[in-house]
């Protein structure tokens, strides 16, 4: 906690105000501080066209993500957990959260965290190949990015209903791909999410309708690998 507070002060960013997520250190997706706030998109809503369309981005960020933030604040309004880092709140399957509000916090806290990470790990004129230690780890774990993308897309396609497909760093530092339901966040299971693909229909339906597979293929054109690399390095 203290390290992060110092980081924000050192960079001249006021603690607890709305931040552009593009300015945050990768190891920390969200600014703590009550109440939680919707982070700004780090690029224009039409910047990921034609792969992710402007209207989907506006509704996904401004309505869906915003609702998770509002409902998280409501769920925690009488709790001293309000404003604490979500990494702490969601750890150990949100064990620190009282039973009566735990599922609401998992749904909306996970939703807030997952979407904040999602915006940050996408970008215009992105895609391509990861470099450095992450590039090496992908080669040794999956042989290449194409195989990784096929594995993540397969996990996303097989997710029945709503959820996410993830590239994570496990507790022993290895890469893994798997899917979670709803807004369940890998942090709940002690994993570090590096890059997640939202496979809820709201993420793709306006442009791709029922063709989830086409959306999954397209998103690889706008992965911000520099950001994913930093998260893998823990920077």
Binding site for Mn ion (CB under 5 A): 198, 200, 203
**Residue of minimal CB distance from Mn ion?**
198
Q: Measured from the CB atom, is 34 or 206 closer to Mn ion? A: 206
Nearest CA among 105, 112, 103 for reference residue 79: 105
Q: Which helix (H) or strand (E) holds 85?
A: none
In the complex, minimum distance from the CB of residue 116 to Mn ion, in angstroms, rounded to a whole number: 11
Alpha-carbon distance values, 177 to 110, 152, 191, 192 (Å): 18, 6, 11, 11
Alpha carbons 53 and 34: distance in angstroms, whole number = 32
In the complex, minimum distance from the CB of residue 42 to Mn ion, in angstroms, rounded to a whole number: 16
Q: Measured from the CB atom, is 215 or 220 closer to Mn ion? A: 215
Phi, psi of 222 (to 5 degrees): -125, 30
Alpha-carbon distance values, 38 to 21, 62, 109, 150, 153 (Å): 10, 8, 12, 32, 28
In the complex, minimum distance from the CB of residue 136 to Mn ion, in angstroms, rounded to a whole number: 31
In the complex, minimum distance from the CB of residue 202 to Mn ion, in angstroms, rounded to a whole number: 5
Check whether the bond before 35 is cis (ω within 30° of 0). Answer: yes
In the complex, minimum distance from the CB of residue 64 to Mn ion, in angstroms, rounded to a whole number: 5
Q: Measured from the CB atom, is 77 or 211 closer to Mn ion? A: 211
Nearest CA among 213, 227, 217 for reference residue 50: 217
Q: Measured from the CB atom, is 184 or 198 closer to Mn ion? A: 198
In the complex, minimum distance from the CB of residue 200 to Mn ion, in angstroms, rounded to a whole number: 5
18-45 as b/e: b if 16+ CB within 10 A: ebebeebebebbbbbbeebbbbebbbeb
Q: Measured from the CB atom, is 63 or 77 closer to Mn ion? A: 63
Q: Measured from the CB atom, is 8 or 118 closer to Mn ion? A: 118
């Amino acid at each position: 906690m203290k390290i992060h507070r110092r980081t924000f002060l050192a960079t001249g960013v006021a603690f607890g105000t709305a931040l552009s997520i593009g300015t945050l250190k990768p190891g920390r997706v969200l600014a703590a501080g009550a109440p939680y706030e919707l982070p700004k998109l780090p690029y224009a809503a039409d910047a990921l066209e034609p792969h992710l369309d402007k209207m989907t981005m506006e509704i996904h960020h401004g309505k869906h993500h915003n609702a998770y933030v509002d409902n998280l604040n409501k769920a925690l309004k009488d709790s001293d957990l309000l404003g604490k880092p979500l990494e702490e709140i969601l750890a150990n399957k949100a064990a620190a959260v009282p039973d009566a509000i735990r599922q609401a916090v998992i749904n909306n806290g996970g939703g807030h965290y997952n979407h904040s990470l999602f915006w940050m790990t996408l970008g215009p004129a992105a895609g391509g190949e990861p470099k450095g230690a992450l590039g090496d780890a992908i080669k040794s774990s999956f042989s290449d990015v194409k195989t990784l993308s096929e594995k993540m897309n397969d996990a996303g396609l097989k997710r029945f209903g709503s959820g996410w497909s993830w590239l994570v760093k496990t507790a022993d530092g290895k890469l893994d791909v798997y899917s979670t339901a709803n807004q369940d966040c890998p942090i709940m299971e002690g994993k570090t999410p590096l890059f997640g693909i939202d496979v809820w229909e709201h993420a793709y339906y306006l442009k791709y309708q029922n063709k989830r597979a086409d959306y999954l293929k397209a998103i690889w054109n706008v992965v911000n690998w520099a950001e994913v690399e930093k998260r893998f390095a823990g920077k």
